[in-house]
Structure 1
Amino acid sequence: MYAQRSLVGRAPEQATIGGLLDHAPDGGAALVIRGAPGVGKSALLEWAATTAGEKFRLLHAAGSVTEFGLPYAALHQVMRPVLGHRNRLAPKYRLALDVAFGRTSGAPPEESTVAMAALDLLAEAAADRPILLLADDAQWMDVASQQTLAFLARRVTADRIVLLATHRDAEPGPLLDAAVPAVDIAPLDAGSAAELLDGAAGALDPGVRALVLDAARGNPLALLELPRAAGRYAGANAGRIALTARLENSFLARTGELDASTTTVLEVAALSDADDVAEIVAAAAILAPDAPPSLDPAVSAGLIVVDGASVRFRHPLIRSAVLQRLGPDRRRACHAALARALSGRPERSVWHRAGAALRPDAALAAELEQHADQAIRRGAQAFAVGALERAAQLSAARGDRQARTYRAAALAYTAGQPENGERLRRHHRDLIDAGHDELRHEWLNELADSDHGGEQRIHMLLGHAERATAIGDHTLATDFLRAAALRCWNLSPGRPVGKQVIAVAGRLGVTDIATRAQLLAYGSPFDSDGTVRALIAQVPPAGRDAATTYRLAHAAACAGASDVSEGLLTEAADRIRSEGHLHTLGRTLSLLAWSALRRGSWSHAVAAAEESTRLCAETRQPFWEAASLVAHAMVAAFRGDFTDAENLVVAAERLNPRRFATTDAVAMLARAAIASGQGRYDQAFTCLAQLHDPAGSAYHPAHALWSLAGLAEAAVACGREDAARTLIARLPAEVRATTSPTGRMNLAFAEAVLTDSFSTAMAADMTMWPYERYRLYFAYGMSLRRGRRVRESRDHLRTARDGFDRLGAHPLADRARTELRAAGERSDSPVTDVWDSLSPQEIQIASMVARGMTNRDIAKSLFISHRTVGSHLYRMFPKLGITTRGELQRMAAEHER
């Protein structure tokens, strides 16, 4: 398919790609090649294919600028040559691909399950021979395929797969992700441009040559194409025509030289959603039955390439040039011909019938909606958005148009397409009447913007919930209630409006246990701990699905019941992993990181935070990504890795997530932990005091309550005890009267430290909070030593030191050693634990090994290939000085904290 050709001026890019190919037998890589049209992106792919030669199995797909694309169409194009390896896959993955590619019916697979199946299949095929996967013009592929390619690009480093994708620099897309390496292709420099032009058209008149060089501005395609039409752009108007337009006009001029039958073939090919020669020729014959379709003139003109049963345009600009000349009548005629030629393929012909439709068609709209439902069942929600939108446009009845537009808009928001959601929401606004339609539109408004409006918006949501209940839409009513309660938590818990949310829920008769727990915890976190625990106890594990477990866990976390939330979140994560919901898994792991952090399970917290950060970046959830980065920063600060902690906080702030009080509050917690660990106690106190300021963006009474221990410690260390007491006294009455064990512990800790009276706090059971427990021992030990009760102080300081060592809290362990030496007791530094040399993902894999999971089981859980798991284990064994899996299991069990 690819001809040998030399490239001019692309030595750096060729060296980069050549290095990836050379390294492929040992490990894979991905690279996105970005640039303007005609800059030479596709030429680099052709060079890579030729360079790879027979050493690689070549897989190729190309996007096309048509009006639609079937879900996973491009992915199927890529995977078709290796589908013979399907039998090597687990049944779940084999079925996912079969359903996604329309080979069989079945439950809709999650996009992540399809992506994992593709990764596994490619990894299996690459075991025989390295794979070079080329994705040309990825920005025009169907969204499901783009997302799968982005998934693969992040995960092929341990497999013998090189993925090269080209992408227009002005187009958005999932592959343009910071986690996927990319290179920008610039125009050729003056010398290289002249060399390319002279090699292709050396006999040009000097004046024409200068004109072409000036017009092309280093664009290789322009340097090759414009000499054919140089005279057309001479004169004063030459500089006014955009380069892309010049190129398209040049291609149009070439198509204008073709006969009618060949032109018809090009027109049909430009509108076709596939590259099948037989289909395109059959449709062209329908349009021009008296003129046999001919491809040869277009091939001779350098406009298309025919390779066996497929046809492709030499360059996407040729296709767009052909489409540009199509008038609306001719476009509809081509669609109609394609629809007839595809009469046996209803899933494709329906789109061409929609393209040929001149007026609303109720039956066709209903058929498109059915195809949208089918796409949802195949796990291709993004495709379903387009199908529903087109169905709405073709709907004859206003009510159908409104309902389908609403479905498309809501699905766009939940499928991670906020831009499409916003456009469709505006369309929906023009279609609604009062009543139910208006309430649905209000829900779209909430999906579009859930972080503005303050208490006024919360009251509006409560009103919407009551109206929805009155008309019998209890699902919508519950959605409004949960949104109102979540605003209470995120914008500032503890305000009276939270109680009003709970009261309205009671009046409306909300009975779902998980929903009741959420409303209580979000709306009134300071006195809901006991009730939330009781509600959770009413739902046995056997009766909890993944969504219910997650919701109960989130409620427990917001109520301060970290001991309950950690177990529930671990359970929820396991369930969600098995179902492949990456979007929800990212959120779950973020919450798990915070619960594990508060429980002193720092290795688990970091592993959860690191994975959550990656998943939330993938699924475009900046709020949760920032929360995970900050949780990771907290552990880094506690361990004394202050540079890493600072970098993580900066990364979280750079995301600029939705400006909730929760995001600002947790950032202040991390900055306080860094400052305190470095001995800058005045700064630590200032950071934590911001959580108590109602006028500040970080005001959050719940986080303020849960960080009183740190506030009091910092106040004593910098001599600001009176300021700390004032802040505690000014806490809202319901905060100071909290029934939450976590809240009561922090109040008791602060009281002990600020009054130098430890008897009550020391008598409390602090098993739930090991970090605070050892900090209390440390504070009491220091107090005793200052009071000249040196002998008594040693026991407490020793307990604190040993506890800090076990947790890995190195700064406080060092301080405890200093205090012990001042108390007359020698205290040696601890032996370095080789376990600390493992990365977060390695710790996660080791934990799964300890649970008896195989490499393939671990790979499925972590959404990586099993060879990636094996690669991690290969590196871990020498680090830990072990040689067997059993030794790793024992070490992992010993380090479970």
Structure 2
Amino acid sequence: MANGPHALVGRAPEQATISGLLDQAVDGGAALVIRGTPGVGKSALLEWAATTAGDKFRVLRAIGSVTEFGLPYAALHQVMRPVLGHRNRLTPKYRLALEVAFGRTSGASPDLYTVAMAVLELLAEVAADRPVLLLADDAQWMDLASQQAMAFLARRVAADRIVLLATHRDTESGLLLDAAIPSVEIAPLDDDAAAALLDGVAGGLDPGVRSQLLDAACGNPLALLELPRAVGAYWGVNGDRLPLTARLESSFLARIGEFDAASATVLEVAALSDADDVAEIVAAAGLLSPRDSVPSLDPAVSAGLIVVDGASVRFRHPLIRSAVLQRLGPDRRRACHAALARVMVDRPERSVWHRAGAALWPDAALAEELERHAEQAIRRGAPANAVPALEQAAQLSVERGDKEARTYRGAALAYTVGQFETGERLRRHHRDLVESQHDGLRHEWLNELADGDRGGEQRIHSLLEFAERATVAGDGTLATDLLRSAALRCWNLSPGRPVGRQVIAAADRLGVADPATRAQLLAYGSPFGSDGTIRALIAGIPASERDATTTYRLAHAAACAGASDVSEGLLTEAADRIRAEGHLHTLGRTLSLLAWSAMRRGSWSHAVVAAEESARLCAETRQPFWEAASLVAHAMVAAFRGDFAHAEELVAGADLLNPRRFATIEAVALLARAAVASGQGRYELAFSCLARLHDPAASAFHPAHALWSLGSMAEAAVACGQVDAARSLIDDLPADVRATTSPTGRMNLAFAAAVLTGDDDAFAAALSADMTMWPYERYRLFLSYGSALRRQRRVRESRDLLRQARDGFDGLGAHPLAERARTELRAAGERSDSPATDVWESLSPQEIQIASMVAQGMTNRDIAKSLFISHRTVGSHLYRMFPKLGIASRSDLQRLAAEHER
């Protein structure tokens, strides 16, 4: 691709893009993934970027390799090794996380995202002295922990002087291929550029050969550089119909075929090595070469196959490595692995993989060592890297029981960390290893992890039976997991069915005593009559005795039971604890639930902040169900505030994330659509949406959400003349739903009765209850009652209610209903002007979140740790916020934030 060491042909647009990123790095960073087919010139662009950056940047590099096995953070360590001497700039927590992750010390297992935050903070500190250019070549082959950390960085470097450029094969999957990370696809060279490149490296070719070479290369720069060497000697242009990649590999193999045995052996060992250490590779090759031969790298360097830089060796292109690996038979491959294992006896973490690669028969000791390696990866905060170690350990196990146990553990872990393809493969293997009843029960749990929403009510009954058997087998943890899964299926299938009570009865029989688990089972299985019991269970556990997991479980139970007054506080507490521990996966779920609880309580700014952060985190941690739920919570608030276009956009995004049509997501999406329709005055559509929640034949049938939206349904029914239909739906509610003890449910029943009857007694009954938990519904009742009184010509009585409704809606930011209240007041003979625009509403959700944290007295570094961004990103947000708000100091921001807490 080059005319000279650094000149590129035909890549002006890509060079301009990269130059722009480098030029902007003085003020802020960027990330770009360069995608393309093998040989198209991705790596050449990175080399050009490094040369262009020159001494103005600190250049850090990592190269992915197909032979990195399961070594935790191998690629990330390549990047960070040159700057680890600066780790004393980090807080003790982040410094320890890096040292444990990189195996420099022992300590408590750090969460992967804590490690990633430590990397971001260290790079940001280093970049303060000189901008950093991070080059990640062949990212698709990096170990999974490194890929996750790199993707984390790529989303967060915008405010720091860090430019991250990664290359990625477009035929491979990988964590950097994410919609949130900018990417560009490199196309083959056009005809003119291809011809210029070929003439630059092989001028004077016969015109016919030149034409056939151009045709065969298809604009691939590597082919244009390599194929001319093979003309005549190795590669026949005429009649050769091999795919381009195979043709290039054949060309490389032909060149290797000219080497003596010792030189070829060096390449074979290098291809299988998981490191680039010249001494290590040459020493291993020496063990395989004849005594009178000295392994040498020189022939491969002269042939342009490898590059040796000091003590490091690398293949000039991954296709060369794959060509070498292709020529290795199984016996030779095992011999090379064995030689590498012998020369790295003092590096057990690496040698174990080569000994596994050399193994011909099952080996109990080696399998045990691989299992220990998996446990070490988990301790270092890289559970994804433990999966291949467990899979290899299972393959090498001698005893069938050990093979089953390791396969089960690997499959369960694979599902947990999002490696679903690996989980499916291991689950299939596990099925063939099942012998005992306990094995079979564990396999059923893998089936549940693989597909926890299919099978209907019969699957719930099966899970209850499995839980009974697990208890008899003495596996209480498995029994509890199966029970909890059965109960959650009840919630997703439709709460309130008799099978839910059967789940609770099974928990009683099996003696489930853990309060958080009991609360969850009650909330999922019998949400309409369990409010008091759930509240008592929660009250029985002091905050000082609740860890993050327990707090989250109790909060989820309260949310599903409609106890938003309890769930909001618990979820806030859980989120704070989970932030401190760095568990982004669970934090995304927690914030999603918090968004819904805060929205129902009228804390809309908090709801939007939680929903926006949750959606980002759930997208990052690949949890589409929870991401969709967060988008809809955000859509609800947007609809209440009158931003209908944004609300519809958010709901459409949630639909795309719900291809399996989860009933819960279908139901809440209808709530948001109804809120939009009602806000726009399309009451018939709003009523239709909400009525579908009551229809057992509809995919969105969900009695809990139907109960919690009765007030909205009644309002829409009155407005579009469907009062009788609404009354019929309420009359048809199951007895246990109408008899609910849930305050949210009772409020909605009273609200609907007042609106549908329209008489004073019904409104008085609804308003006599304590409505402070539901300010939005309270002001809607004021508006409905006031409007009804005005229509009855009881104008003086109506005005006070309408004023309270208007002021309440203004306080919430419910603009459509505030304007409706003003219209009613004007009709009642009272002038009511619109309020001035609040500049606070110009802030983004994350800016509001940062302002709130500033109001709490948190420093930029404290805020950065909580939000998983660099402290310089926090400073950048504050820099933009001050002019927006017309303020000049942090104390001004604290005052404004305190005024807008609602």
TM-score bracket for this pair, using the shorter chain length: over 0.9
Say whether the 8 Å CA contact 1:501–1:519 is kept in structure 2: yes
Residue aligning to 2:579: 577
Residue aligning to 1:224: 225
> Displacement, 1:196?
1.1
> Displacement, 1:300?
1.1
Q: Within 2, Cα distance between the matches of 1:809 and 1:453?
A: 42
Residue aligning to 1:746: 748
- Choose which of 605, 612, 615 in structure 2 pairs with 1:613: 615
> Displacement, 1:403?
0.5
Residue aligning to 2:627: 625
Q: Within 1, Cα distance between the matches of 2:587 and 2:390?
A: 27
Q: Within 1, Cα distance between the matches of 2:17 and 2:670?
A: 42
| Equivalent position amino acid for 1:142 in 2 | D
Q: Deviations over 1:182-218 (max 9, x none)?
A: 0011111111111111111112111111111111111
Q: Within 2, Cα distance between the matches of 1:850 and 1:497?
A: 48
Residue aligning to 2:12: 11
Residue aligning to 1:513: 515
> What are the equivalent positions in structure 2 for 1:715-794 lying under 5 Å apart?
715-757=717-759, 758-794=763-799
Q: Deviations over 1:348-389 (max 9, x none)?
A: 111111111110000000011011111111111111000000
Say whether the 8 Å CA contact 2:394–2:402 is kept in structure 1: yes
SS, match of residue 129 in structure 2: coil
> What are the equivalent positions in structure 2 for 1:250-265 lying under 5 Å apart?
250-265=251-266
Residue aligning to 1:310: 312
Residue aligning to 2:810: 805
Residue aligning to 1:668: 670
Residue aligning to 1:31: 32
Say whether the 8 Å CA contact 1:137–1:165 is kept in structure 2: yes
Q: Within 1, Cα distance between the matches of 2:431 and 2:856?
A: 53
Q: Deviations over 1:608-628 (max 9, x none)?
A: 000000110011100000000
> Displacement, 1:282?
1.5
Residue aligning to 1:418: 420
> What are the equivalent positions in structure 2 for 1:189-204 lying under 5 Å apart?
189-204=190-205
Q: Which moved more, 1:291-300 or 1:519-528?
A: 291-300
Q: Structure 2: which 5+ residue stretches go unaligned?
A: none
| Equivalent position amino acid for 1:494 in 2 | G
Q: Within 2, Cα distance between the matches of 1:563 and 1:696?
A: 30
2:329 counterpart of 1:327? yes
> Displacement, 1:259?
2.1
| Equivalent position amino acid for 2:578 in 1 | I
SS, match of residue 418 in structure 2: coil
Q: Structure 1: which 5+ residue stretches go unaligned?
A: none
Q: Within 2, Cα distance between the matches of 1:269 and 1:672?
A: 63
Q: Within 2, Cα distance between the matches of 1:118 and 1:216?
A: 41
- Choose which of 594, 605, 608 in structure 2 pairs with 1:603: 605
Q: Which moved more, 1:484-493 or 1:261-270?
A: 261-270
- Choose which of 362, 375, 378 in structure 2 pairs with 1:376: 378
> Displacement, 1:69?
4.2
Residue aligning to 2:189: 188
> Displacement, 1:657?
4.9
Say whether the 8 Å CA contact 1:451–1:659 is kept in structure 2: no
| Corresponding pairs, count | 895
Q: Deviations over 1:656-705 (max 9, x none)?
A: 25422101000000000111111111100111011000000000000000
Residue aligning to 2:646: 644
> Displacement, 1:504?
0.5
SS, match of residue 132 in structure 1: strand
Q: TM-score when scaled to structure 2?
A: 0.98
Q: TM-score when scaled to structure 1?
A: 0.99
> What are the equivalent positions in structure 2 for 1:804-883 lying under 5 Å apart?
804-883=809-888
Residue aligning to 2:346: 344
> Displacement, 1:330?
0.9
Residue aligning to 2:281: 280
> Displacement, 1:250?
0.7
Say whether the 8 Å CA contact 1:65–1:320 is kept in structure 2: no
Q: Within 1, Cα distance between the matches of 2:215 and 2:181?
A: 35
Q: Within 2, Cα distance between the matches of 1:102 and 1:814?
A: 62
SS, match of residue 261 in structure 1: helix
Residue aligning to 1:134: 135
> Displacement, 1:112?
0.3
Q: Within 1, Cα distance between the matches of 2:733 and 2:238?
A: 74
Say whether the 8 Å CA contact 1:365–1:390 is kept in structure 2: yes
| Equivalent position amino acid for 2:455 in 1 | G
Q: Within 2, Cα distance between the matches of 1:69 and 1:568?
A: 38
Q: Deviations over 1:520-549 (max 9, x none)?
A: 000000011111000000000000000000
| Equivalent position amino acid for 1:801 in 2 | R
| Equivalent position amino acid for 1:809 in 2 | A
Say whether the 8 Å CA contact 1:69–1:141 is kept in structure 2: no
Q: Within 1, Cα distance between the matches of 2:803 and 2:41?
A: 67
Q: Within 1, Cα distance between the matches of 2:257 and 2:27?
A: 51
User: Structure 1 vs Structure 2: percent identity of aligned residues?
Assistant: 81
Say whether the 8 Å CA contact 1:211–1:230 is kept in structure 2: no
> Displacement, 1:233?
4.6
Say whether the 8 Å CA contact 2:70–2:388 is kept in structure 1: no
> What are the equivalent positions in structure 2 for 1:637-716 lying under 5 Å apart?
637-716=639-718
CA change 1:67–1:24 in 2 (3 A) is closer
- Choose which of 279, 282, 293 in structure 2 pairs with 1:291: 293
Q: Within 2, Cα distance between the matches of 1:66 and 1:113?
A: 26
Say whether the 8 Å CA contact 2:604–2:812 is kept in structure 1: yes
| Equivalent position amino acid for 1:166 in 2 | T
| Equivalent position amino acid for 1:808 in 2 | G
Q: Within 2, Cα distance between the matches of 1:204 and 1:655?
A: 55
> Displacement, 1:236?
6.3
CA change 1:552–1:657 in 2 (3 A) is farther
Q: Within 1, Cα distance between the matches of 2:298 and 2:898?
A: 69
Q: Within 2, Cα distance between the matches of 1:130 and 1:813?
A: 50
| Equivalent position amino acid for 1:669 in 2 | L
| Equivalent position amino acid for 1:629 in 2 | L
2:69 counterpart of 1:86? no
> What are the equivalent positions in structure 2 for 1:71-150 lying under 5 Å apart?
71-150=72-151
SS, match of residue 170 in structure 1: coil
SS, match of residue 691 in structure 1: helix
| Equivalent position amino acid for 1:367 in 2 | E
Q: Within 1, Cα distance between the matches of 2:614 and 2:203?
A: 57
Say whether the 8 Å CA contact 2:147–2:174 is kept in structure 1: yes
Q: Within 2, Cα distance between the matches of 1:434 and 1:263?
A: 50
| Equivalent position amino acid for 1:626 in 2 | A
> Displacement, 1:67?
6.3
Q: Deviations over 1:582-639 (max 9, x none)?
A: 1100000000000000000000100000000011001110000000000000000000
Residue aligning to 2:159: 158
Residue aligning to 1:892: 897
Q: Within 1, Cα distance between the matches of 2:730 and 2:466?
A: 37
Q: Deviations over 1:247-273 (max 9, x none)?
A: 111111111122222211111111110
> Displacement, 1:4?
3.9
Q: Within 2, Cα distance between the matches of 1:849 and 1:279?
A: 53
SS, match of residue 312 in structure 1: strand
Residue aligning to 1:54: 55
Q: Within 2, Cα distance between the matches of 1:840 and 1:683?
A: 30
| Equivalent position amino acid for 2:530 in 1 | S
RMSD: 1.0
Say whether the 8 Å CA contact 2:235–2:251 is kept in structure 1: no
> Displacement, 1:235?
6.3
| Equivalent position amino acid for 2:883 in 1 | P
| Equivalent position amino acid for 1:455 in 2 | E
Q: Within 2, Cα distance between the matches of 1:537 and 1:732?
A: 30
